[in-house]
Amino acid sequence: MDIIKKVKTKFLNHYSKSPAFIVNAPGRVNLIGEHTDYNDGFVLPCAIDFSTVICVSPRTDLVVNVFAIDCNEEVDSFDLNDSIAFNDTQFWSNYVRGVIDELKKRGFTLAGCDIAIGGNVPQGAGLSSSASLEVGIAATFNQLCDLGLSTVELAQISQAAENNFVGCACGIMDQLASACGKNDQALGIDCRSLELIHTPISDDNTIVIINSNVKRGLVDSEYNTRRQQCESGAEFFGKTKLRDVTIADFEAQKSAMDPLVAKRAEHILYENQRTLDAMEAFKVNDMPAISRLMAGSHASMRDLFEITTPEIDYLVQIIADVIGDRGGVRMTGGGFGGCIVAFVANDLVDTVVDIVAEKYEKQTGIKESIFITTAADGVSVITDIEAI
């Protein structure tokens, strides 16, 4: 609530009026199922208690004014009559422009507005601050112009904006988690059918996210290389997606594959199975199974998909040592830095925080940041402004 109040006050000071409504779009953490989304596979993220907040007031013309509180309070302004151009100098604005461009391409009639954007999803940490911004903007125009879009459609439009306008070939996981998350549940997603498999999380446990604060480098180029390698893997089996390759077929033929492509494919095929198994394990709170599956996922990202860093591996190792089979821990997100996620029994949270405080900076020279969260609801619109 504090962050919503903060953005509302900034809006008021900047535009000298109250917003008509406020959109709250959460970031996400992925519990398991990494790089499986663009292979049409399975993922298990949840929305988190950290979000992008957008205050909105309608205008009578077709101008969109954007005030970006967390980007040095920069402003951007454009007219919906004009074709939406890429903004070379204010990169953040392209998430806003991209979503509007996608809505226009789909033939929706849009209206102008004054908006202020702020939030507390750490940027560049792999917790989907950009996806939450996209979903928040899609929800803004859905509300403003009464577009009647479902939350899944908000996610699809947001992903299209990222793919087509921003130029990152991401999958659908982040936007769907931000749009469709449910309080106290993880969100199993079949990334082919977009079926959502709501997976309750026991409140005997806590989600601890630790940002390694390793500067993420080469993320986009490495991400796109992994995508191509996965496509080559599927092609080897005469399929368009690795989702359609069975583990049995892979094991029978892997020795004939390019060794690097085989490693990438092995990660995806077994990660899909681990994710399906994890959905069952979370439902019955089978901690030893969750622990084993998350450990398997991390080892696979480290040794087969090769997207972890030494600092991340170290964090995972020291946490795994203290939680045993009473919790799971792994890197979360696209990789090459960013965060780890630990899902642990409530009474172990302090132990995890203490071991990281004691060892991580000493070993790596980098200070971590810690976020404690529960699984949160997806994007929402607040119209009772006075109550904030």
Residues with a catalytic annotation lie at: 174
> Are the beta carbons of 42 and 191 closer than 8 angstroms?
yes
Q: Which residues bind ligand GLA (CB under 6 A)?
A: 30, 34-35, 37-38, 170-171, 173-174, 333-334
Tokens 């080892």 belong to 299
How far is 274 from 248, CA to CA, in rounded Å? 15
Supply angle C-alpha 83, 84, 89, rounded to 5: 135
Residue 195's φ and ψ, nearest 5 degrees, are -65, 135
Q: What is the smallest separation between the CB atom of 38 and ligand GLA, expressed in angstroms?
A: 6
Q: Do the Cβ atoms of 222 and 336 come closer than 8 Å?
A: yes
Let me know how many helices (H) and strands (E) the chain has, helices first: 11, 12
Q: How far is CA 306 from CA 188, 310, 341, in A?
A: 24, 11, 18
Q: How far is the CB of 155 from ligand GLA (least distance, A)?
A: 11
Give the helix/strand (H/E) hosting 128.
Answer: none
The least CB distance from residue 156 to ligand GLA, in Å, is 13
Angle at 184 between CA 151 and CA 122, to 5 degrees: 70
Q: Which DSSP letter does residue 162 get?
A: I
Residues 154 and 177 sit within 8 Å (Cβ to Cβ): no
Closer to ligand GLA by CB, 76 or 174: give it: 174
Tokens of 208: 């601890």
* Least gap, CB of 343 to ligand GLA (angstroms): 17
Nearest partner of 32 among 263, 296, 225, 211, judged by Cα: 296
Please give the Cα distance from 28 to 34 (Å, whole number). 13
- Shortest Å distance, C-beta 94 to ligand GLA: 15
Collapse the DSSP code of 132 into the 3-class scheme (helix H, G, I; strand E, B; otherwise coil) and give the result.
helix
Q: Determine the Cα–Cα distance for residues 256 and 266; give it in Å rounded to an integer.
A: 14
Q: Is the sign of the CA dihedral 45, 50, 52, 57 positive or negative?
A: positive
User: How far is 52 from 26, CA to CA, in rounded Å?
Assistant: 6
Nearest-angstrom CA–CA distance, 281 and 277: 6
Pairing status of strand 113-119 against strand 63-68: parallel
SS3 (DSSP) at 382: strand
